[in-house]
A and B are shown apart, each in its own frame.
Chain A
Amino acid sequence: MLSSFDAEILARLQFAFTISFHIIFPAFSIGLASFLAVLNAAWLYTGDNAYRVVFDYWKKIFAVAFGMGVVSGIVMSYQFGTNWSDFADKTGPVLGPLMAYEVLSAFFLEAGFLGIMLFGREKVGNGLHMFATAMVAGGTLMSATWILSVNSWMQTPAGYSTNEVGQFVPEDWWAIIFNPSFPYRLVHMVLAAYLTTAFVVAGVAGWHLLKDRENKATRKMFSMAMWMALIVTPLQIGAGDAHGINTLEHQPTKIMAMEGHFDSHPEGAPLILFGIPNQAEKRVDYAIQIPKLSSLILVHDLNAPLKGLDTVPDEDEPPVAIVFFSFRIMVAIGFAMLGIGLWGGIQRWRGRLYDTKWLHRAAVVMGPMGFVAVLAGWITTEVGRQPFTVYGLLRTSDSLGPVAAPAVAASLIAFIIVYFFVFGAGTFYILRMMGQNPATPRLGLRDGPIRTAGITPVQQTHEAHPAE
């Protein structure tokens, strides 16, 4: 089946496949690491045992998700070289140091303190354990910062020159790191990770509230997640809007594809709510649209002119349908999240947060939606940048290394089989842990930390709590 494809499309499929799997895990672990740090701090500060129960519950889920993120991430760090070695040679001088900083300032931090966070509370005491937990959370955010700077530079390159062998050479590191789209992308992605996690937590809590609405730990989880949904979703919609305006300035072609604007609109562009882009005929079929609203959203002026894809050479256009649909999926989920957040806020105000079964059911349905939105958002921005890897400068077809199609096909099939098997099993274990009531003292087969001799545990009884 794959033999009819050339090496380039196979390599693109492979990158899309491995990065799509990978992004799921960081989106979850960035949010969960911060959540765990907050829970641990709240437990230490208030002495309320419910926080500790929730911490221990999510800690084990975090361990599995983090493990999957690590191994799928190692693959990514080598993927630039295996299939995309021309890209690696040309962009290495600019992007390589940023990724080296990610490894040095983030990966080591997470990995070094993860063992202490998972297994070391009894050995190091609560203070240092809190420090380790905060370091893991800080590491995940640091990692997001560097890798989003790398991605943003590929979208909106700045601060470089080129040398005689065609490499990008750094001229101004400040301009490279803080390239025009980076601050927007960073805020949008970190908020996305927080929201994704909040909705997973809300979904799990909702599931258990449907069965037992008295459990204090479950209530705590649901309450915290609903606060996040209420406060962060509007912030995220605002951040997304700002990001879109930034994209209009620096990558207008991507916006044209997102909006489905095949034609230029000199007197205000319509917002196409739905339709089927027909790239061959350069029009959107069955379009349902609101006049001038696109101009209002993007330029904050009803009559502002917006250029369409008719101003872009065909060979520089991205595949419009993918970008058009993935963008709409992301936005729809965003507004559904806003709805849940508001509903939760109203029910809380009425004192019925834990008694509204339909809210709990809706939370369960929305539980995995953050992942869908994250994937849809990344597909929008990555496919929307095509046909370039470095926007406007380096074409995807010039980024490919000297790889043979059969080799890429073989490795692609291997990745697909292994990822579905391994991460399918991991997802199953995570779902099974989530199915356990948070009040259950033992979640997995292994519950406690690993203890070695030669040091007296700080707390003699395992799982001792200061509140008791």
Chain B
Amino acid sequence: MEFDLAFIWAGIIAFAVLTYVVLDGFDLGVGILFPFANSKKDRDTMMNSVAPIWDGNETWLVLGGGGLFAVFPLAYAVVMSALYMPIILMLLALVFRGVAFEYRWRTERWKKVWDLAFFGGSTIAALCQGIALGALVQGIAVTNRHYSGGWWDWLTPFSMLTGVAVVVGYALLGATWIMMKTEGAVHHRMRDLAKPLAIATLVFIALVSVWTPFQNPVYFERWFSMPGTLVTLPVPLILAFAVYKLFHGLANGRDVSPFLAAQSLFVISFIGIGISFYPMMVPPSLTIWDVAAPDSSLKFALVGTVVLVPLILGYTAYAYWVFRGKLDPEAGYH
């Protein structure tokens, strides 16, 4: 039996990107919410809730980039050229945010500087990821295997909307994560923030969904032709259920269900984007098969992926298990 390796790889890359969003979204959200904490102690607790795991989370972003380079090199080449500014800005923002985890414990005088770096880095990184998504949905001009647009093409009202939407959405993930991991004042502060953030996230999802077909009508058609229709039908139902669980959980003081419900909003939105895109890799002109590396590359990379990704998921789950439960805000200061 012949496998369609490019198709399998599109699925794997989509999985890696989704895993990145699910795992790093909330820890970027923690940074976005940093200024909203009421005290220095609360900020310490918030940062500690992601300190042992953020590095692993961010590695999925490296896999997204490295994986794209490996199996869809043309897509990697074209997209990186087209999204030059937001990508570089995101990388610099991640530098600031990443070092803040260690630096802010090494100084008293400059603690505020690294607090700001953590907040600013997280927010700009999230904004740039959203802008990159919006710019990709808009479409990228390609001629003769080269990006043929200008270096400001990514900046449009639509990409700004998707940028802000991702910031708000990540903040919701961060708020529900902190609720789940903490008790006391910081927990209640986040619960107060989560409700307006949830409403705002839903508004942004609606705005982006309505605006997307205007970027390219083909996105709309894909929802109502096979195989998209198979997913189109249950999407509103799942969405309604997630929204219900989110607000119900927030209203009733649940710890875990708001986080899971917020995450499922992201998963559903991601699947929605996937339906709009398929079978394009770089809209409007390059399909998955146009950009795929030769089969010998796809096969070789697939062997390792099939063996290693389950292992990675296993020990990642173990690391989360080790640091499970509510944080003790006094720990770490003896």
Q: Interface of A with B (CB < 8 Å)?
A: 63-64, 67-68, 70-75, 77-78, 80-82, 85-86, 88-97, 99-105, 107-116, 118-120, 123-124, 163, 165, 167, 169-171, 173, 401-404, 407, 411, 414-415, 418-419, 422, 425-426, 429, 432-433, 444-455, 462
Q: How far is the CA of A165 from the CA of B315 in the complex (A)?
A: 41
Chain A residues within an 8 Å CB radius of B105:
444-446
Interface contact B319-A113, CB-CB below 8 Å = yes
Say whether chain B's binding surface is mostly helix, strand, loop, or mixed: helix
Check if B51 is an interface residue, CB within 8 A of chain A: yes
Tell me which residues across on chain A come within 8 A of B319, comparing CB atoms.
Answer: 112-113, 115-116
B73 cross-chain contacts in A, Cβ below 8 A: 88-93, 96, 167
**Contact (Cβ within 8 A) A115 B56:** yes
Tell whether, in the assembled complex, residue B71 and residue A118 are in contact, meaning their CB atoms are under 8 Å apart.
Answer: no
Asked if B300 and A111 make an inter-chain contact with CB atoms under 8 angstroms apart, the answer reads no
Contact B91–A75 (Cβ < 8 Å) = yes
Q: Which of A101, A167, A415, A422 contacts B304 (CB 8 A)?
A: A101
Closest to B63 in A: A103
A85, A95, A113, most chain B CB atoms within 10 A = A85
B226 to chain A, nearest CB (A): 32
List B contacts of A452 (CB < 8 A).
Answer: 181, 323-328, 331
Residues in A with CB closer than 8 Å to B294 are 93, 163, 167, 169-170
**Residue on A nearest B56 in the bound complex, by CB:** A111
23 chain-A/chain-B pairs, Cβ below 8 angstroms:
A64-B106, A71-B94, A74-B95, A74-B98, A81-B80, A85-B77, A95-B69, A96-B66, A100-B66, A103-B66, A104-B304, A105-B308, A108-B308, A108-B316, A110-B55, A112-B319, A123-B322, A401-B80, A404-B151, A414-B88, A429-B107, A432-B106, A446-B332
Residues of A within 8 A of B215 (CB): none
A residues in contact with B301, CB < 8 Å: 96-97, 100-101
B302 to chain A, nearest CB (A): 9
Interface residues of B in 281-318 (CB under 8 A from A): 293-294, 296-297, 300-301, 304-305, 308-309, 312, 315-316, 318
CB pair A67 B98 closer than 8 Å? yes
A92-B76, A450-B331 given; A97·B300 CB < 8 A: yes
Give chain A residues whose Cβ lies under 8 Å from the Cβ of B95. 71-72, 74-75, 418-419, 422
Chain A residue with Cβ nearest B96: A422
Which of the residues A73, A95, A444, A448 comes within 8 Å of B331, measured between beta carbons?
A448
- The proximity string for B residues 84-110 relative to A, scoring 1 for CB distances below 8 Å and 0 otherwise, is 110110011011101101110111101
CA distance A419 to B108 in the complex (A): 22
Is B236 positioned at the interface, with any CB of A under 8 Å from its CB?
Answer: no
Task: Please judge, given known A-B contacts A85-B147, A104-B63, whether A401 and B325 are in contact too, CB under 8 Å.
Answer: no
Residues on A with beta carbons closer than 8 Å to the beta carbon of B324: 452, 454-455
State how many residues of chain B have any CB contact under 8 Å with chain A.
77
Instruction: Tell whether B78 is near chain A: CB-to-CB under 8 Å.
Output: yes
Which residues of the partner chain A approach B328 to less than 8 Å between Cβ atoms?
A: 451-453
CB distance from A114 to the nearest CB of B (A): 6
B53 within 8 A of A: yes
Do the beta carbons of B96 and A70 come within 8 Å of each other? no
Partner of B91 from A74, A114, A115 at Cβ < 8 Å = A74
* Contact partners of B11 in chain A: CB under 8 A: none
Known: A93-B293, A102-B66, A120-B323. A170 touches B92 (CB 8 A): no
Chain B residues contacting A447 (CB-CB under 8 Å) are 332, 334
Is B145's beta carbon under 8 Å from chain A? yes
Nearest chain A CB to B146's CB is how many angstroms away?
A: 5
Assembled-state Cα–Cα distance A81/B318 (Å): 34
Partner of A403, one of B63, B151, B331: B151
Q: Once the chains bind, are B94 and A74 in contact (CB under 8 Å)? A: yes
B48 at the interface (CB under 8 A from A): yes
Question: CB distance B102 to A63 under 8 Å?
Answer: yes
Report yes or no: B77 in contact with A108, Cβ–Cβ below 8 A. no
Residue from B69, B110, B308 in contact with A81 in the complex, judged by beta carbons closer than 8 Å: B69
B27 shortest CB reach to chain A, Å = 12
The residue from B52, B78, B106, B322 contacting A444, defined by CB atoms under 8 A apart: B106
Query: Does B333 count as interface, using CB distance less than 8 angstroms?
Result: yes
- Which chain A residues border B61 with CB–CB below 8 Å? 74
Cβ-defined partner of B62 (8 Å) among A103, A446, A455: A103
- CB–CB A418/B102 < 8 A: no
List 6 additional contacts besides A92-B69, A446-B333; criterion CB under 8 Å. Answer: A74-B91, A80-B69, A81-B87, A113-B315, A411-B85, A453-B328
CB-nearest residue of chain A to B292: A93
For residue B39, CB closer than 8 A to chain A, the reply is no
Q: CB within 8 A of A112: which of B63, B67, B96, B316?
A: B316
Evaluate contact between B326 and A99: CB separation under 8 angstroms.
no
B327 touches A462 (CB 8 A): no
What's the least CB distance linking A219 to chain B, in Å? Answer: 27
A99 to B96, CA, bound (A): 25
Bound form: Cα–Cα A331–B108 in Å: 42
Chain A CB within 8 A of B175 CB: no
* B70 proximal to A (CB < 8 A): yes
Q: Is B79 close to A, CB under 8 A?
A: yes
Q: For B106, what are the chain A residues with a Cβ–Cβ distance below 8 Å? A: 64, 429, 432-433, 444-445
Residues on B with C-beta less than 8 A from A118 are 52
> Do A402 and B147 contact each other (CB < 8 Å), given the known contacts A92-B69, A92-B77, A455-B324?
yes
Q: Is the CB of A97 within 8 A of B297?
A: yes
A123 with B62: in contact, given A401-B147, A448-B332 (CB under 8 Å)? Answer: no
- Residue B229 at the A interface, CB < 8 A? no
